[in-house]
Amino acid sequence: MAQHALTAPTPSSFSRTTRDARLGQLDDTSFDLLVIGAGITGAGIARDAAMRGLRVAMVDKGDLASGTSSASSKLVHGGLRYLEHRQFGLVFESVSERARLGELAPHLVRPLPFFFPVYRKRPRPVWQIALGLSIYEALALYRVPKRHQTLRGARAREAFPTMNPDGFDGGVVFWDCATDDARLTLATARAAHDAGAWVLPYTEVVEFVVHRARVGGAVVRDRFTGASHTLSARVVVNATGPWTDRTLGLRRQRSRLLRPTKGVHIVLPADRLPLGATITIPREDEHFVFAIPSGERVLVGTTDTDYDGDYDSVQATAEEVRSLLAALNGAFPGAHLGPDDVVGSWGGLRPLISPHGDHVDPMAVSREHHLVEDEDGLITIAGGKLTTYRLMSAEVVDRVARRLREDGMHVGRCPTAAVRLPGGDGIRWEGDALVTTGPGGRDADAELVERYGPDTARHLRQAHGGRWLDVVGRAAREPALGERIVPDLPYLWAEIDHAVHEELAVTLEDVLRRRTQIQIRARDQGASVAEAVAERMGGLLGWSDADRQAQLDHWAGCVAAQESWREDWSDADEDDGQQEPDG
């Protein structure tokens, strides 16, 4: 590989070693801020606060992004739905953040065409949809990759020949963005670490520390060793997403802020459903099923149901898979998609504010997020979405700063709008291509394509941004790491080493589900490579044979849960595939 790749600087380590060393020092360290939860919200708060100079610790009972922040539709979007309700402020906020995130992390905010089809003037006539899109683009101050395009009659059928022609009036093509939610969270957490925050995954808050009726820290438990530590902090923020009420409950006060609902996605091979754009298939309840092209796969979701099951294992049911397949078969009647086409699935809980919750004013429900400061000083942030996480984080840290200023501490303003996320330097979109502008520039891109092929080259740039050099540098030093892990997916073995050393991957599941998406994209969910990946990780992390087997057993349990819907699938479900689109 090119010389620049071999000599690329290795960033400072972000690994289990750093985590363990810091955990050992917790009892003797005091912090300005403890953030509970390392989803996108917690990571955003930790980054913002650390960049303002605060001493920050962020803990999560699992991996970074192991909650809802790896279970979204993976879109960075303005929310067309808000337009329907004339919530122009919300749309403006979201589309502005979409543009901002595109500047801060171009690799993680991928422009994507969408097609909004109209059947028999439903959900609205084509001209009304087009008008809505004009407003959407105006609110974005026209910072969109391309302007929308109205397609009617034959032109629409030509552009989308596999769509159901029955009653098809045409529709509108417009642009929004896709992301990798877990990697966006990871990049944000990494930025927090680089700014000095202590990032401690697999560290669960089991109790609050309370002095004179004020929350002053928490007792945390190392999920690997069981050891407890006391973490002291002047301010504590609860950013535990769907677990918000449970975390509040650790103070033995019953609180109800949320009414989480469940959303499920399925993954199909792209050759079974070739799409030139994300198709928005309207459902009866004003929501959409998105069919999102994503490299060699199509991601399809979501459903929306109430949930009272296990928050730590939210899985698709046969009924939910059936309803998504039915929506697809209605929109694409020639596709004849069935359960055997589904290679993976995931479920997540929306941390929605309950309109009947404690301390909730009705505006909070429409604003999507809610910030509460209790009498004992605990600050809780709940709700929100990936797209606006940076703004939400700034609001929380402003509140934290106000508290610290009361104690005489100087805290600056939010600096996050102008500083790129890790990987965001040295890369930018030119038309439909993400190109390297850093060391090596276009020559490096050309070499990357020549060496690894266009799919892997695209994947490396999109996943790692300007830091792809670090990944291929590892492959240059050890050529076997330049091979693909799974033949029809673009991931390289070098990414396993990178994940362990630079991305705080600690378990096999961290690597197979969130640093890569092998678990939801591989036709066998990664079963044929899991042992080899565990072997490699074990070598890097010093696992014994028993450790390695425990990792494999845990991961196999995760996959069994993910795939459990198949056991409940019945022939009756399969017959129900040909439904008209709801629109």
The angle at the Cα of 527, spanning 525 to 529, to the nearest 5 degrees, equals 110
| Subset of 245-304 contacting ligand FAD (CB under 6 A) | 247, 263, 302
Pattern 347-366, ligand FAD, x by CB under 6 A = -xxxx---------------
By CB under 6 A, residue 60 contacts ligand FAD: yes
Q: Which helix (H) or strand (E) holds 381?
A: strand 379-383
By CB under 6 A, residue 61 contacts ligand FAD: yes
Q: How far apart are CA 463 and CA 450, in angstroms?
A: 19
357 or 538, CB closer to ligand FAD? 357
Task: By CB under 6 A, name the one of 188, 387, 517, 551 that touches ligand FAD.
Answer: 387
Cβ-contact 380, 372 below 8 angstroms? yes
The angle at the Cα of 487, spanning 486 to 491, to the nearest 5 degrees, equals 50
60 or 503, CB closer to ligand FAD? 60
Task: By CB under 6 A, name the one of 102, 293, 384, 424 that touches ligand FAD.
Answer: 384
Min separation Cβ 176 and ligand FAD, Å: 9
Q: Which helix (H) or strand (E) holds 265?
A: strand 261-269
As a whole number of Å, the end-to-end CA separation of the chain is: 52
By CB under 6 A, residue 40 contacts ligand FAD: yes
Cβ-contact 433, 273 below 8 angstroms? no
By CB under 6 A, residue 15 contacts ligand FAD: no
80 or 471, CB closer to ligand FAD? 80
38 or 371, CB closer to ligand FAD? 38
Task: By CB under 6 A, name the one of 15, 66, 323, 380 that touches ligand FAD.
Answer: 66
By CB under 6 A, residue 317 contacts ligand FAD: no
Mark the segment that binds ligand FAD (CB under 6 A) among 47-55, 343-351, 407-415, 569-577: 343-351
- Non-local (6+) Cβ contacts of 526 within 8 A are 486, 512, 518, 519, 533, 559
Q: How far apart are CA 122 and CA 115, in angstroms?
A: 14
Task: By CB under 6 A, name the one of 14, 243, 288, 555 that touches ligand FAD.
Answer: 243
Task: By CB under 6 A, name the one of 23, 36, 80, 364 that touches ligand FAD.
Answer: 36
Min separation Cβ 63 and ligand FAD, Å: 8
445 or 503, CB closer to ligand FAD? 503
Pattern 173-192, ligand FAD, x by CB under 6 A = --------------------
Q: Are strands 433-436 and 427-430 parallel, antiparallel or unpaired?
A: antiparallel
By CB under 6 A, residue 78 contacts ligand FAD: no
Q: How far apart are CA 333 and CA 313, in angstroms?
A: 33
290 or 332, CB closer to ligand FAD? 290
Q: How far apart are CA 44 and CA 62, in angstroms?
A: 17
Q: How far apart are CA 33 and CA 235, in angstroms?
A: 5
Q: How many residues bind ligand FAD (CB under 6 A)?
A: 39
Min separation Cβ 44 and ligand FAD, Å: 8
Taking phi over 0 as left and psi of -120 to 50 as alpha, with beta for the rest, 85 belongs to alpha
Q: How far apart are CA 568 and CA 507, in angstroms?
A: 29
By CB under 6 A, residue 39 contacts ligand FAD: yes
12 or 313, CB closer to ligand FAD? 313
By CB under 6 A, residue 385 contacts ligand FAD: yes
Task: By CB under 6 A, name the one of 42, 473, 490, 538 that touches ligand FAD.
Answer: 42
Q: What is the 3-state secondary structure (H, E, C) of 485-548?
A: CCCCCCCECHHHHHHHHHCCCCCHHHHHHHHCCHHHHCCCCCHHHHHHHHHHHHHHHCCCHHHH
Q: How far apart are CA 3 and CA 292, in angstroms?
A: 37
Min separation Cβ 43 and ligand FAD, Å: 7
Task: By CB under 6 A, name the one of 2, 33, 37, 404 that touches ligand FAD.
Answer: 37
- DSSP structure string for 179-241: --HHHHHHHHHHHHHHTT-EEESSEEEEEEEEETTEEEEEEEEETTT--EEEEEEEEEEE--G
Min separation Cβ 41 and ligand FAD, Å: 3
By CB under 6 A, residue 72 contacts ligand FAD: yes
Q: Which of 239, 205, 240, 232 is nearest to 216 (CA)?
A: 232
Taking phi over 0 as left and psi of -120 to 50 as alpha, with beta for the rest, 359 belongs to left
Pattern 187-226, ligand FAD, x by CB under 6 A = -----------------xx---------------------
- Read off the tokens for 366: 């429409």
By CB under 6 A, residue 59 contacts ligand FAD: yes
By CB under 6 A, residue 97 contacts ligand FAD: no
Residues that bind ligand FAD (CB under 6 A): 36-42, 59-62, 66-69, 71-75, 77, 204-205, 239-243, 247, 263, 302, 348-351, 384-387
